[in-house]
Structure 1
């Protein structure tokens, strides 16, 4: 571990965070077509979530009840002293009049969490009247937006989807992947991973993003043969809950696939787990590999000519999912040497050993000690300590690290929030197509010198 990360902190505060608080899971609700988040929190809370997760994060934008349209209680001192239930009751009534939603999710922030407002009882009254409404405790002091995301998913399953006694459909898979609006590429990534799974012979139930059909997809969750979690840790708690509630098995694949080798291995794991016929998946792999390597062979001419001016080493700091995915692809498929890998999303302790092990022997003869750190000051200090041996290095990080990259004379690539130098409309770096996009991004920067 670097000397910077060994430094003992004198307070519980952190600087330059890479995540928002739990109430930022309002964006999980926005990621569901026709769903309306109702923010039961103080003024400015949702403005900050929107600024960090949607605007200063690839300028992703938002629709329907997201961003500035999001209903909020804007709790005041009066609510803290006398309770905020009346304010929330009025907000729910107003929201039901203004938004014709298919699902309403009340997310309680720090104020309601501290004063102990009985939000579930109020929400139950509306549910008894026939409204599709859910309550979830997302007080910021309980965790970050990734924790909040898992809380929202479980709340919707329990309070909206409900019990199920029917049969499960073979070949139908619920896809639990990226947290909406957290990774800048989440919309394109969901589309690419769903395309891959469909190509392999599956029917995919997409719960978030452009291919989500709204709450009817959520009501189909219990019908699926199994749940597929593609993440080092986010979503595992949801899959465990679904297994307990519906007796529904799940497959956990910690590594997001990037490139032909990783994607083919990913497909075969899922097909083997599902027990479906392999003929279609193997044909799909053959077709996709042919296209992938066609483009890679053309790229190799450029690489052979300009390799001496290209980065050979890199440092990366991001959430556990993409720190692992990018490190493995760049090391194993491109041959770059990882000199520093720092994970910023505060994964639960029970997952950390598995995550650490994934970075050992990440490619033949390549091993990197991953570090867990949330404090931006210590992250920057740790990367500063890296002595890149030669040439121009590559730094994959957030906007917080732009000046550091300039000081190091490094190529810089934003991959984690905040990301204020990149506009994202529809982009993906996963699977077959995403890997080629990633190579374009990195080596265009190499040619352009920035």
Structure 2
């Protein structure tokens, strides 16, 4: 049996961020021992993926970034373009493989963190600690006894919710024959794609150079598409809208993010906490997760280093979650036109303020100013009916083959990287 103060289950964004912060204590802080339990290579280990987020100026992971941008652009369905500088914020792209290598370098220099490859089977916790029962790749049982356990693994069952939409996507990493991309600007939402009868769809372009970009087709709806349908939409978008000319697909990514007003159980046992997407870090209205993960793990690490109870703080404020619940209901009922809704927001609200709003960093008067730029009557009707709606567990509404689920963000979904597939 391994004994440690902290056991971290899962080596995704949340798990790696937490153990990394535990190794970087300020001078004078108490040391913390930790065991990071990661599933062996196989179906339980998430594929390589990409996270996007925004923050003010320089950040702790800048050395591992793929790219960053200061300008965002949104295209309306009719071609109307809104472009804005988000200074002092930066929109950043971080690949999970680069992040893991970045964290691994610090872990290798630390004596406080042990990494264990094993599949967690059960977690038994009480007020004095918890036992993590796992099985190594060779079938050998392993038990970790910890004072505190932080579990970032996806929940076995989705929590009950009044509204759950799926944000699902497929992306191509492309290399073009001609310099067609603007490396300084992200196309955050491009609604110049056919809109479904229910929900919304948009293109998304993250340029990493004049010839290179991640190009995605994303849809908000109740069911995913077949792989062939995503491929058809991407071909149409790259050919008819972006007009890229000849290009090579160097890798792909696919994912599904639940956008839900569910209440997440964040403390299943007295000494066990859920963090990351499993702990409600995904913002319901957008699918972004990485920034909330950093807030959670920073607070937990600070508490552990100070010898306090390491209760993760709420990932999002009650006010933010209430507003998101109304928006999800309005979209799911079709009371608002999704493409027009987002186009109007970006056209009428400065992008820097809107990003702070989406990250829960605005004050009440700023929230009200954003709310007044939404369709007020449909939103009020949706808000009025929410208290009367039952919370049900979402049913499977996916049409096979379905994308690989992962915790991420709409603009930063974890991709399934593959070798070059085709030249278009």
TM over 0.5: no
Q: Which has the higher helix share?
A: 1
> TM-score scaled by structure 1?
0.23
Q: Which has the higher strand share?
A: 2
